[in-house]
Amino acid sequence: MKRSILPLLVAASLTALAGCSSLNPFSSSEPKPAPLTDIKPTAELRTVWQAKIGASGPYVFQPVVVGEDVYAAAYDGSVARFADGRAVWKVSAAKQLSAGVGSNGRLVVVVTTGGEVVALDAATGAEHWRVPVGAEVLAPPAVGDTMVIVRASDSRLIALDASNGARRWVFQRATPPLSLRSYAGVLLDSGAAIAGYPGGKLVAVSLANGSQLWELTVATPKGSTELERIADISGTPVLSRKDLCAVTYQGRAACFDASNGNALWSRDFSSSVGLDRDSRYVVVTDDNDVVQGLDGTSGATVWKQEALKRRAVSRPVLFGNFVAVGDLQGYVHILDRDSGAFVARSRADSSPILADLRRFGRGDGIVVQSRDGDVHVFEVR
């Protein structure tokens, strides 16, 4: 059974969905999360440091890692830079925030619930500029050397000058009447902003002028109703070496050769949280909360971890020889990259881990931000 998507839908009619008990999070027929079974740890998941930033409220707040520093934000407007668990600085954006942090190590950028983009100095937290974009923003801004790319909830890409916030261009394309309410961000690479779109499309836009460079099809919508035809890209696209990979809800997972756009492989899949990729594997959390390891060359299933069903498992992150995911009760699960077996488990706190986990350090660490605002750096030994 797929996880409930009702809280993720936009432009939807509740009346149209009223008959879909499997999609209703308030339905008494919803099965309970799978209980956790004891594991025999073969590695130690150690807390390196932890800090507190503030709760996420109705949004999802992604932290960002630059070097050994972690930047995080919260719904109440708090923004902070942490180093070794210490707040180097912590400031207030003076308004409530709706999206996580973007940073290039020089600027730290957040967005208010009213659609103001706020750029702070990464070294001191001092405000550089603040500009309205007139749109709801759920995704962390993508911060480059010269531009900040903001993705609106209606999928518009808005480019702002990194030095002063002046608007440079806006990229917009038609979207279907029903789509996921997604906090997926934008990938910056080689002069392009790459974003996933409703309808199963990957699109690259020129940073120089906002023109479309190319479009790739990950999945094609199918079905007779708008609900059945949702095939949106889930999560931020992943670029590993020259492979560009993405997955859709109710569609497919696929990898492409980023140098020429040729499809390397694709297969039927449904995920509302996304995937990760390294030199050997693609790892995906599907909509049954099964974590799957796929061969990065062919897309064939190498392993499945099915013990976390109905636990609202997060997007997986590959780091070193491991895979990490979070769940709805604040647990962090570490899986062996080659087999999918559990090797360690720890609890960040009792609130859900909805934000993507981030790699940290030399390859043996991850950063976790829970819904209640606890920020943890874990290390596997």
Q: In what order do the strands lie in the sheet with 317-319?
A: 317-319, 322-326, 331-336, 342-347
Instruction: Please indicate, yes or no, whether residues 51 and 111 belong to a single structural domain of this protein.
Output: no
| Type of residue found at 327 | D
* Residue 10 maps to a domain: no
* Residue 247 maps to a domain: no
Write down which residue in 139, 156, 182 finishes a domain. Answer: 182
* Predicted pLDDT of residue 4: 45
- First-to-final CA distance of the chain: 35
Note whether 170 and 127 are within 8 A (CB). no
Instruction: Please indicate, yes or no, whether residues 41 and 69 belong to a single structural domain of this protein.
Output: no
* CA nearest to 62, candidates 309, 342, 273, 208: 273
Instruction: Please indicate, yes or no, whether residues 53 and 132 belong to a single structural domain of this protein.
Output: no
* Predicted pLDDT of residue 174: 83
Note whether 108 and 119 are within 8 A (CB). yes
* Residue 245 maps to a domain: no
pLDDT tens, residue by residue, 151-179? 999 989 999 999 999 999 999 988 888 88
| CATH of residue 301 | 2.130.10.10
The answer to which of 11-15, 359-363, 364-368 has the lowest mean pLDDT is: 11-15
27 Cβ contact list (under 8 Å, min separation 6): 21
Three-state DSSP class for residue 331: strand
* Predicted pLDDT of residue 3: 54
Instruction: Please indicate, yes or no, whether residues 378 and 310 belong to a single structural domain of this protein.
Output: yes
Instruction: Please indicate, yes or no, whether residues 52 and 77 belong to a single structural domain of this protein.
Output: no
150 Cβ contact list (under 8 Å, min separation 6): 111, 117, 133, 135, 137, 139, 141, 142, 157, 158, 159, 160
Provide the domain count of the chain: 2
* Residue 359 maps to a domain: yes
* Residue 75 maps to a domain: yes
* Predicted pLDDT of residue 255: 98
Distance (Å) of CA 311 to CA 101, 242, 289, 291, 328: 26, 33, 7, 11, 6
Give the domain range for residue 322. 34-58+274-381
Structure tokens at 327: 């769940």
Query: Residue 260 CA to chain centroid, in angstroms?
Result: 26
pLDDT tens, residue by residue, 16-49? 333 333 334 334 456 789 999 999 999 999 999 9
* Residue 311 maps to a domain: yes
pLDDT tens, residue by residue, 99-137? 999 999 999 999 999 999 999 999 999 999 999 999 999
Note whether 288 and 309 are within 8 A (CB). yes
What's the predicted TM-score (pTM) here? Answer: 0.91
